[in-house]
Amino acid sequence: MSTIPILMYHNIGKPPEGARLRNLYVRATAFARQMLLLRLLGYRGLSMADAMPYLRGEKKGRVVAITFDDGYVDTLELALPILQKYGFTATCYFVSQRLGRHNEWDASQLQVRKPLMDESQLRAWQRAGMEVGAHSRTHPRLTECTDMQLDDEIAGSKRDLEALLGAPVTQFCYPYGDLDERVVAATRRAGYDAATTVQRGRARAGEDALLLRRVLVSGSTMPHLFLLKLFSRYEDKRG
């Protein structure tokens, strides 16, 4: 069964002074080096929608899916030009009712307010050939939601973004990676093609598309470790 690494990023850029969990930041130079490595090895970076034929086992090839959580402005300003340089596509998951605001769900924990893309920036991301995915309406812990809240957060985020873009939104990412059978059932009911988790490991063709594992790329992921994560069982063993 072929493996398709799904790279998981949060912030691109230098960590602000005093920020906690500094490993959530991958410096732009490191990100550019990682994308160059993929290109030199003959791999294509794809959005989740573009990667779906490979994830379903319908196609085979040297591909890696690229994802960004939360919809931070630095994804547009710093990651996008690098992706465009190499002709890659990527998916960014947006918190649909927090556009243009900041990371209210963990700002106090991280001790930094990180700006989120607004509607015009989200559209600019899409116009550049990148994919908009959903990441709930408000970034709650979904397992703590009532059934009604679940549908509002998961299906509602899809509706919000589709109304904004006038285009289908087919990809979802579970906030905090928090899920159970009830959450997955609500995601399936909402009509998403696939959903990503924070469980570490490489996705395998033909697996449940609503329980996709990802490869964590952090600020401490040096080039040799980046290659190990993608092309060996290193990340799978940490799942």
For the cut 90, the answer to whether the pLDDT of residue 17 exceeds it is no
What is the model's pLDDT at position 95? 98
What is the model's pLDDT at position 239? 78
For the cut 90, the answer to whether the pLDDT of residue 147 exceeds it is yes
The encoded tokens of residue 93 equal 């998951």
What is the model's pLDDT at position 19? 86
- Reference 172, options 150, 144, 146; nearest CA is 150
| Percentage, residues of the chain above pLDDT 90 | 95
Q: 87-145: per-residue pLDDT in tens?
A: 999 999 999 999 999 999 999 999 999 999 999 999 999 999 999 999 999 999 999 99
Residue spans of the domains in the chain: they are: 3-238
CA distance 45 to 90: 7
Provide mean pLDDT across the span 150-165.
Answer: 98
Among the residues of 41-118, which ranges form H helices? 48-55, 73-74, 80-85, 107-110
CATH 3.20.20.370 fits 3-238, yes or no: yes
The encoded tokens of residue 64 equal 């890696």
What is the model's pLDDT at position 238? 86
What is the model's pLDDT at position 116? 98
CA separation (Å) from 171 to 42, 78, 94?
Answer: 26, 23, 10
CA distance 193 to 209: 7
CB burial string 46-57: b at 16+ within 10 A, e below:
bbbbbbbebbee
For the cut 80, the answer to whether the pLDDT of residue 191 exceeds it is yes
What is the model's pLDDT at position 1? 67
